[in-house]
């Protein structure tokens, strides 16, 4: 069995939210799909260890925000590499409570929707929740973020099998003197030729010249967590 057969499956990138009583949480997920149009029904597949999973089990409602392609890395990192058990993910984030009283994240979202769970399937480490829509709203026009774009372009971790790898190799040749560094926590690669524009770091800035208080734009890890590639 060649599991690389799974690599070309395409996904989007979403924030999935829920609540437990008055407590709210949300996380990054790439597994939202529409499963039925009449009535409009969506599904999401979440890891059983995640706090949002626990909340959906409890309240039987969930929300989805479809992220735009230009969503900054640290916004994804806030919802994706941190747990609501440790931090309040909604501090400094624009959101509102929906009809289900679950949080709809509005920032960097093209559209938002909320659903009531009508079915669920045990998938080993994960649960697939099936939800009938009770609300949906378009916030703005734009390109949605895909999981491939996030991994290859935003995080800079282009697999050798990806079509964009050739372009990356060309860039490398033009920029051989500057080493890339990889975050040991989340796998983000700092590429000096790209810098970290979201955080005011200009292209061409070597890793060594980054300010001491610079942190990984994805997960917030400090410079010392980075390894030279």
The nearest distance, CB 17 to Fe ion, in angstroms, is 23
* DSSP 8-state secondary structure symbol assigned to residue 87: S
If the CB atoms of residues 79 and 188 are measured against Fe ion, the closer one turns out to be: 188
**28 binds Fe ion, rule: CB under 5 A:** no
The nearest distance, CB 185 to Fe ion, in angstroms, is 4
If the CB atoms of residues 145 and 186 are measured against Fe ion, the closer one turns out to be: 186
Backbone angles phi, psi at 56, to 5 degrees: -65, -40
Specify whether the CB–CB gap between 137 and 144 falls below 8 A. Answer: no
DSSP string, 116-155: EEEEEEEETTEEEEEEEEEEEEE----PBPBHHHIIIIIS
Rounded to the nearest 10°, the torsion over CA 227, 152, 219, 12 is -160
The nearest distance, CB 29 to Fe ion, in angstroms, is 19
If the CB atoms of residues 29 and 221 are measured against Fe ion, the closer one turns out to be: 221
* DSSP 8-state secondary structure symbol assigned to residue 172: H
If the CB atoms of residues 153 and 185 are measured against Fe ion, the closer one turns out to be: 185
Alpha-carbon distance 6 to 97, whole Å? 36
The nearest distance, CB 183 to Fe ion, in angstroms, is 3
**221 binds Fe ion, rule: CB under 5 A:** yes
Contact pattern for Fe ion over residues 169 through 208, marking x by CB under 5 A: --------------x-xx-x--------------------
Residues near Fe ion (CB under 5 A) are 183, 185-186, 188, 216, 218-219, 221
């Amino acid at each position: 069995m060649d599991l690389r057969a799974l690599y070309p499956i395409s996904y989007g990138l979403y924030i999935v939210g829920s609540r437990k009583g008055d407590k709210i949480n949300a996380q990054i997920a790439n597994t939202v799909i529409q499963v039925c149009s009449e009535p409009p029904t969506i599904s999401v597949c979440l890891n059983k260890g995640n706090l949002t999973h626990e909340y959906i089990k409890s309240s039987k409602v969930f929300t989805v925000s479809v992220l735009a392609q230009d969503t900054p890395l640290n916004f994804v990192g806030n919802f994706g590499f941190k747990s609501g058990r440790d931090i309040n993910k909604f501090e400094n984030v624009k959101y509102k409570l929906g009809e289900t009283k679950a949080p709809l994240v509005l920032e960097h979202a093209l559209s938002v929707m909320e659903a009531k769970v009508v079915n669920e399937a045990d998938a080993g480490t994960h649960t697939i929740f099936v939800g009938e829509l009770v609300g949906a709203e378009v916030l703005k026009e734009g390109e949605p973020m895909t999981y491939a774009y996030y991994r290859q372009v935003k995080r800079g971790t282009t697999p050798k099998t990806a079509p964009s790898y050739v372009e990356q190799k060309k860039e490398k040749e033009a920029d051989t003197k500057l080493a890339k560094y990889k975050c040991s926590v989340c796998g983000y690669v700092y590429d000096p030729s790209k810098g970290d524009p979201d955080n005011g770091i200009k292209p061409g800035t070597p890793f060594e010249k980054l300010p001491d208080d610079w942190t990984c734009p994805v997960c917030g890890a400090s410079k010392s967590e980075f390894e030279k590639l």
